[in-house]
Amino acid sequence: MAELNLNHIYKVYPNGVKAVNDFNMHIDDKEFIVLVGPSGCGKSTTLRMIAGLEDISAGELKIGDEVVNDVEPKDRDVAMVFQNYALYPHMTVYENMAFGLKIRHVSKEEIHERIVEAAKILDIEEYLDRKPKAMSGGQRQRVALGRAILRNPKVFLLDEPLSNLDAKLRTQMRAEISSLHQRLQTTFIYVTHDQVEAMTMGTRIVVMKGGYVQQIDKPKNLYNYPCNKFVAGFIGTPQMNFFECYLSKKDDFINIKFEYTEQEVKVPALYFVKLNPNYLDGKKKVYLGLRSEHISINKKDLEESKTNLKIRLSHKEELGSETLIYGDINMQGEGYKETSTRVIIKTNQDVEFNNGDVIDAAFNFAQCHIFDYETEDSVLPRVPQINYIPAEIKDNHILFLGENIKLPQAINAKDSKGTLIVPIDAVKPGKLIDAKISVVEKVNDKYLLYLHIEDLVLFMLSDTEYKVGSVIKIDIDFKKIEFKSLNETIIEPFKVNNSIPLKFIKQKVLKEVETEKGLKKQKVIDFYLDILGEKILSPEKISRPILSALGTKAFNLDYMATIDAYSFIEDPNGFKAKVEKEIIYDDERFVTVDVLGEKINVRTDNKSNELSLKIDLDKIGITETSIDIKLV
Ligand code: ADP
């Protein structure tokens, strides 16, 4: 039983392939985590790094409380099950299972006891005397699982264990592995390219692509709230329908114009309340995604729906309990190829048609997803990250949401009209603005509040639940806001994070070291951070990840340190920093200081024009800049 922590894990193969980039995850004890993605996305490499079969290029892996980067695979207390079972052909099942324990010097009696127990769990008691070749694939995989169970590991690692089995057996083994997880109450990490396996087995799923984690979430959330078009298309069968569209707002409606066809529909603006309004200008192309179960040809749906589209039908696939109907919203389209106008409809009705027939279908746009055409990221996410509020600046006051608020002293903006851009984490309970809560959505362990102010909706994330209909007072953190007038940025967010160049150096020093013959002077190597003209002794927790990722190359590379304004300590022995500017946000005072030409923002109440500062090394982040690896 163990929890795992993967912090900024990277794998760079000697040939330069960056197979895994900045993998971050906390895995709770007893979770069933599935890593899923197309071939080559880095899932096996991640699993093999956890197993210890592959070195970790950078980052820290913890199993339980222990950092295991440099721990041998056999000492990590993990057991791995492979696709090809990896059984010894000349040994019986019993011998195969006993082998791992024998080399660990477990007593004969105990080995026997554990094998009988595991064989019972896996229902292979009657095969213990057989050799692997006299068994089916499913039975062999059970033996491999049995061998893993015997080890009683903290973590089970399974690499595509069912790929060699036929479809029926796969379904059965899927259930068996899930039930095994239930019984063993241990952490499982499972790799597969099959999204059905991932969806049916995982308590949480990690979707990967090209070495990067795309989304980590519960199966249902991945299906309902994919963070980008890749996840939306990868999870779920049949694949989500994707259309190229233009959206424009008129009064309380959004017009959706489909590319490559003349068809258009009008939907209530309410459906897109979470959408970034920049996508509503009618000119910015988006992908609109809609799952096949949200398009209906049911008579009742067609009568009730106000958003029907014409579909030219092509063919169908009977799946027994349901039928997939293929068609196209472009009357010249043919429905066989995946295009931006092809439609797949899932129905449980019997339908007879000829290729080329045109029918109406009811599209439920309340369920649709919108993705940016270039980045393919969802712009209609479950939790909108940004609030866009029409506003006006006049005499250093901001007029928005019916309020007229004096801007903080730090902001000096010219009079203009535009959009106030407020990140969701800048909206907090406070005393400035009255807001009525119209909707409360539970999102994992937080609550997404829809705040009605005037006729606008503002989103806020809250740790506590509120009642729908209640009125609260909120504040806006002006440090985080931006103000744009057309394409001109009038107010920029305050730079809380400073980026400062850094070098990592070593130095031989003579030190008094305790030896058998008493204190003796010896040469030892110390590591330093060369930053802002200072040489600061590098603590082990910074040196170790740098050295383990980069080895001796570490001393010739360039780094960037991220230090936020709150991470400086005033200390008479610190480095001297000339204060150039004072920045005051209501009750918080910052200064910009100059150190060797670097402009750095520091939070302080000290009014003198020179500060003496030290860096809080517990809060520093370090990135290597040429291959772009986060090290600390
Ligand atoms: P997956 O398990 O998702 O199919 P892998 O983790 O096996 O993907 O591989 C991820 C990437 O790393 C791929 O581009 C693969 O070609 C590359 N790769 C895997 N092993 C090595 C290796 N030993 N040397 C160099 N590149 C490798």
Question: What is the pLDDT, as a whole number, of residue 146?
Answer: 87
Average pLDDT over residues 577-604: 94
Ligand 1 atom nearest to 47, measured from its CA = 6
DSSP 249-318: EETTEEEEEETTSS-EEEEEGGGGTTS-GGGGEEEEEEEEEE-GGGEE--HHHHHH-S-EEEEEEEEEEE
pLDDT tens figures, 96-128: 899 888 888 889 999 999 999 888 888 888 889
Buried residues in 219-244 as b, exposed as e (16+ CB within 10 A): bebbbebbbbbbbbbbbbeeebbbbb
Strands ordered across the beta sheet of 4-12: 66-67, 58-63, 4-12, 18-27, 212-217, 204-209, 32-36, 187-192, 155-159, 78-81
The residue to mutate among 10, 35, 36, 45, having the most atoms of ligand 1 within 8 angstroms of its beta carbon, is: 45
Q: From the CA of 45, give the closest atom in ligand 1.
A: 6
CA distances from 89 to 92, 95, 250 (A): 8, 10, 71
Output the CA 14–ligand 1 centroid distance in Å. 12
* pLDDT level of residue 63 (50, 70, 90 thresholds): very high
What value, to the nearest 5°, has the Cα angle with vertex 452 and ends 447 and 457?
80
The mean pLDDT of the chain is: 93
The string of pLDDT tens digits covering residues 407-437 is: 999 999 999 999 999 999 999 999 989 999 9
What pLDDT score was predicted for residue 31? 97
For residue 395, what pLDDT is reported? Answer: 95
Alpha carbon of 187 to ligand 1 centroid (Å): 24
Residue closest via CA to ligand 1's atom 24 equals 13
Q: Which of 329, 236, 229, 248 is nearest to 288 (CA)?
A: 229
Residue whose token pair is 């114009």? 257
Residue nearest ligand 1's atom 23 by CA: 13
Give the nearest ligand 1 atom to 20 CA.
10
Residues 142-175 have pLDDT tens digits of: 888 888 888 889 999 999 999 888 888 889 889 9
Q: How far is the CA of 10 from the centre of ligand 1 (A)?
A: 13
Quick check: 535 and 527 in contact, CB under 8 A?
no
Mean pLDDT (whole number) for 577-585 = 95
What's the token pair of residue 333? 């389209």
Q: Measuring from each residue's beta carbon to the nearest atom of ligand 1, which residues come in under 6 Å?
A: 13, 15, 17, 19, 37, 39-45
For residue 354, what pLDDT is reported? Answer: 93
Give the per-residue pLDDT at 570.
96
* Ligand 1 center from residue 347 Cα (angstroms): 40
Sheet arrangement for strand 427-443: 456-462, 446-453, 427-443, 471-476
pLDDT-derived band at 552 (thresholds 50, 70, 90) equals confident
Taking residue 439's Cβ as centre, other Cβ atoms within 10 Å add up to 13
CA 336 – CA 333 distance, rounded (Å): 9
Residue nearest to atom 22 of ligand 1 (CA): 13
Gap between the Cα atoms of 528 and 525, Å rounded:
10
Q: With a cut of 90, say whether residue 587 has pLDDT above it.
A: no
Q: Which atom from ligand 1 is nearest to the alpha carbon of 39?
A: 4
Per residue in 443-460, pLDDT tens?
989 999 999 998 889 999
Cα(20) to centroid(ligand 1), Å? 9
Helix, strand or coil for residue 424?
A: helix
Write down the pLDDT at residue 84.
Answer: 77
Query: Considering just the CA atoms, what is the radius of gyration of the chain in Å?
Result: 30
- pTM for the whole structure: 0.91
Tell me the two tokens of residue 105.
Answer: 């010097």
Q: Which of 57-71, 128-142, 370-384 has the lowest mean pLDDT?
A: 128-142
C-alpha closest to that of 340 among 227, 283, 285, 260: 260
Q: What is the mean pLDDT of residues 6-28?
A: 95
Sheet holding 588-595, edge to edge: 598-603, 588-595, 568-585, 610-615
Distance CA 171, CA 168 (A): 5
Contacts of 213 (CB under 8 A, 6+ apart): 22, 23, 24, 25, 206, 207
The Cα-based distances of 437 to 420, 424, 452 in angstroms read 21, 15, 6
Query: Which tokens hold the place of 453?
Result: 């102010």
Mean pLDDT, range 29-42, rounded to an integer: 97
Q: Are 303 and 220 in contact (CB under 8 A)?
A: no
What integer pLDDT is reported at residue 169 of this predicted model?
84
For the CA of 44, the closest atom of ligand 1 is 2
**Percentage of the chain with pLDDT > 90?**
78
Distance 45 CA to ligand 1 centre (A): 6
pLDDT grade, residue 1 (50/70/90)?
A: low
Q: Is 85 helix (H, G, I), strand (E, B) or coil?
A: coil
pLDDT at 454: 85
Distance 621 CA to ligand 1 centre (A): 28
Pocket test residue of 11, 12, 13, 194 for ligand 1, highest count of atoms within 8 A of CB: 13
- Smallest CA separation from ligand 1 atom 16, residue: 40
Nearest CA to ligand 1 atom 20: 45
What's the pLDDT tens digit per position in 358-401?
Answer: 999 999 999 999 999 999 999 999 999 999 999 999 999 999 98
**% of residues, the chain, pLDDT over 70:** 100
Residue 542, strand partner residues: none
Using the atom order of ligand 1, give the atom closest to the CA of residue 191: 2
Query: CB neighbours of 488 closer than 8 A, spacing ≥ 6?
Result: 416, 418
* Amino acid at position 479, single letter: K
Q: Identify the structural domains of the chain with CATH numbers, from first to last.
A: 4-220 (3.40.50.300), 238-372 (2.40.50.140), 386-491 (2.40.50.140), 497-630 (2.40.50.140)
CA–centroid distance, 416 to ligand 1, in Å, is: 53
Sequence-distant (6+) residues with CB within 8 A of 587 are: none
**Nearest residue by C-alpha to atom 14 in ligand 1:** 40
What residues contact residue 456 under an 8 Å CB cut-off, 6+ apart? 389, 390, 401
Task: Report which protein residue has its CA nearest ligand 1's atom 25.
Answer: 13
Contact 630, 565 (CB under 8 A): no
Sign of CA dihedral 541, 542, 548, 551: negative
pLDDT for residue 81 is more than 80: yes
Residue 478 confidence (pLDDT) above 70: yes
pLDDT tens digits for range 294-343? 999 999 999 999 999 999 999 999 998 999 999 999 999 888 888 999 99
Pocket test for ligand 1, best of 9, 10, 15, 17 (most atoms within 8 A of CB): 17
